[in-house]
Amino acid sequence: MSARQPLPHWVTAFLMPALNVALAFVIGGLVVLAIGENPLEAVSVLIYGAFGYGEGWGYTLHFATNFMFTGLAVALVFHMGMFNIGVEGQAYVAGLAIMVALAFDQTHWTVVFVTSIITAGVLGAMWALIPAYLQAKRGSHIVITTIMFNFIASSLMSYMLGQVITRPGANAETETIDPVGRLPLLRDIPGLEFFGFSPVNVSIFLAIAAGFFVYWLLWHTKFGYKIRALGHNPNAVRYAGVSAVTVIIITMMISGALAGLVAVNEAVGVQKRLVVGYVNGAGFVGIAVAFMGRSHPIGVALSALLFGALYQGGQELAFEMPSVSRDMVVVIQALVILFTGAMSELFRPALERVFSARSPGAETAKAASESGSG
């Protein structure tokens, strides 16, 4: 019979993604093995590097903060049934918020924090607006336009940094924020000195807040309801009289704003200035984070933490095992996207065999009742 046997919910929601992630790590392990290193040893170095000491933890959380923003940005648009590959560019352009931060850096860090959140959010949203508008109104494929906008962002920023907002005498970077306006690092908070010299700063609370915000937006607002309805059934949205154009544009702008918050953590918080290519792939990591986290804020937070650990542990690993490059993390990231995203059904046939062998009658009965008589 060609009809699919429905699998229990826990299998499709947890077991299948877990198997996919596991497969990604197994293949990653094989790559490590292929270059003549012991994968288990690599994992233990990696885990120690990420969680074994305070500073490692701090770096892990710092990376995770960026990935939380970008992962949420990608996940939100997934709920609408679309794919925002432009998070990298949106985050990059939002880096211009540094100008506002620099303007206020003689006042107090709270002023800098709030104003740069607003500017970075607005800039990220604006960079998402054009692809969103073109998708909603003109049917231009948002994947292609957001890819193009990543490159356009890259040229724009290299122009801005090279010719417009450059610090005199420097090559492609801005002024540095005055110490008065710098965001506090977690280690500055009494009791958290544990984090050592790691750059994790108050932006992490913003990331946590963003997670709650996305959760609230998707499941506790009327607009979130519309986002999810559009993602599941565009026809029903038309039936309900919801304007898909409006939903697409606003959701993409919120996504762009979330992406933009990377600027608050990375540019304002850590580097305290804007440098070329400061996003450094965090936007793309967001894709893997969103997939692995099943686009749920809690899942996104956990996978952001995992990828934060991979990035931090990967640096440690490259130091301890010079033949394993830092880029091993990118390989894992790619494999996670491949298996949880493009081949998410890989284990379904096998699992269906396992589960229908266990309860042959029950499954077909369920199939009949689920699809009703229509």
Partner 1 sequence: MSESTDTNGQRPDAAADRPQGREVAIELRGINKSFGPVRANKNIDLKVEKGTVHGIVGENGAGKSTLMSILYGFYTADSGEIFVNGQKVTITDSKHALELGIGMVHQHFMLVEPFTILENIILGAEDSAILETSIARARAELKRLAEDYSLTVDPDAVVGDVSVGQQQRVEILKALYRGADILILDEPTGVLTPAEADHLFRILEQLREQGKTIILITHKLREIMAITDNVSVMRQGEIVSTVRTADTSPDKLAEAMVGRHVLLRVEKDKANPGDIRLEVNNLTVKDDLGVPRVKDVSLTVRAGEIVGIAGVAGNGQSELLEAISGMREPVLGEIKISGNPVTFHGDDGAARLRRAGLAHVPEDRQRLGLVTAFEEWENSILGYQDDDRYGKGLQLDIKAAREEAVRRIEKFDIRPTNPRLKTANFSGGNQQKIVLAREMDRDLEVLIVGQPTRGVDIGAIEFIHNQIIAMRDEGKAILLVSVELDEIRSLSDRILVMFDGHIIAEVAEGEADERTLGLYMAGVNEPAAAE
Partner 2 sequence: MDFSDIILVLDSSVRLAVPLLFAALAGLYSERSGVVDIGLEGKLLGAAFAAAAAAAVTGSAWIGLGAGIVVSISMAMIHAFASVNMRGNQIISGVALNFLALGVTVVLAEAWFRRGGNTPNLSGDQRFGSIDLPFAAEAQANIPFVGEIYAQLISGHNILVYLAFLAVPITAYVMFHTRFGLRVRAVGENPTALDTAGMSVGWLRYQAIFVTGILCGAGGAYLSTAQGASFTDNMTAGRGFIALAALIFAKWRPWQAMFTCLLFGFLSAMQIRLQGVEFPLIGEVPVQAIQALPYILTVILLAGFVGRAIPPKSIGQPYVKER
Residues found in the chain = 374
Written as one string, the DSSP assignment of 178-193 is PGGGPPPBGGGSTT-G
Residue 241 touching partner 1 (CB under 8 A): yes
CA angle, 254 then 256 then 260, to 5°:
115
For the bound state, the minimum distance from the C-beta of residue 228 to partner 1, rounded and expressed in Å, comes to 7
CB of 219 to partner 1, least distance (A): 8
Query: Exactly one of 169, 235, 357, 358 binds partner 1 (CB under 8 A); which one?
Result: 235
Q: Find the largest Cα–Cα distance for the chain.
A: 77
201 forms beta bridges with 185
- Helices 87-94 and 109-138: crossing angle in degrees, nearest 10, is 140
CA distance linking residue 109 with residue 180, whole number of Å? 6
Instruction: Collapse the DSSP code of 139 into the 3-class scheme (helix H, G, I; strand E, B; otherwise coil) and give the result.
Output: coil
Q: Does the protein bind partner 2 through residue 367 (CB under 8 A)?
A: no
- The separation between CA 129 and the C-alpha centre of its own chain, rounded to angstroms, equals 19
Q: How far is the CB of 309 from partner 2 (least distance, A)?
A: 17
For residue 65, the partner it binds in partner 1, partner 2, none, with Cβ less than 5 to 8 A by kind, is none
Q: Which of 181, 29, 188 is nearest to 99 (CA)?
A: 181
Position 163 contacts partner 1 (CB under 8 A): no
In degrees and rounded to multiples of 5, residue 185 shows phi and psi of: -85, 160
Which residues partner with 173 through β-bridges? 275
Among 33, 180, 209, 342, binds partner 2 (CB under 8 A): 342
Tell me if 42 contacts partner 2 by CB under 8 A. no
Choose the one of partner 1, partner 2, none that binds residue 374, judging by a C-beta under 5 to 8 angstroms depending on kind. partner 1
Question: Residue from 12, 44, 140, 356 that binds partner 2 (CB under 8 A)?
Answer: 140
Tell me phi and psi for residue 173, to 5 degrees: -155, 160
Q: Confirm or reject binding of residue 323 to partner 2 (CB under 8 A).
A: yes
Q: Is 228 in the site for partner 1 (CB under 8 A)?
A: yes
* Cα(113)–Cα(25) distance, integer angstroms: 38
- State the nearest-atom distance from the C-beta of 10 to partner 1, in Å: 14
Of partner 1, partner 2, none, which one sits near residue 228, judging by CB under 5 to 8 A according to partner kind? partner 1
Number of chain residues interacting with partner 2 (CB under 8 A): 50
What is residue 359's DSSP assignment? -
Task: Find the part of the chain contacting partner 1 (CB under 8 A) among 49-57, 68-76, 228-236, 355-363.
Answer: 228-236
Binding partner 1 by CB under 8 A: which of 28, 89, 95, 224? 224
Q: Which of 215, 223, 276, 334 binds partner 1 (CB under 8 A)?
A: 223
- Given a contact cutoff of 8 angstroms between Cβ atoms, the answer to whether 67 and 61 are in contact is no
Nearest distance from C-beta of residue 350 to partner 1, angstroms: 21
- Residue 358, contacted partner among partner 1, partner 2, none, CB below 5-8 A by kind: none
Closest separation in Å from C-beta 112 to partner 1: 28
Contact status, residue 21 vs residue 340, Cβ threshold 8 Å: yes
Report if residue 362 touches partner 1, rule: CB under 8 A: no
Backbone φ and ψ of 275, nearest 5°: -125, 165
Of 191, 194, 181, 362, which Cα lies nearest the Cα of 267?
181
The reply to whether 134 sits near partner 2 by the rule CB under 8 A is: yes
Nearer to partner 2 (CB atom), residue 159 or residue 205: 159
d(CA 93, CA 74): 17
Least distance to partner 1, CB of residue 26, Å = 31
- 18, 103, 126, 152: residue in contact with partner 2 (rule CB under 8 A): 152
Q: Which is nearer to partner 2, 19 or 31 (CB)?
A: 31
Q: How far apart are CA 232 and CA 215, in angstroms?
A: 17
Take residue 102 and report the two structure tokens written for it: 């620099």
Judged by the rule CB under 8 A, the positions of this chain that interact with partner 2 are 31, 35-36, 83, 85, 130, 134, 138-141, 143-145, 147-149, 151-152, 154-156, 158-159, 162-163, 284, 287, 291, 322-325, 327-335, 337-338, 341-346
Judged by the rule CB under 8 A, the positions of this chain that interact with partner 1 are 3, 220-226, 228-229, 232-233, 235-236, 238-246, 367-374
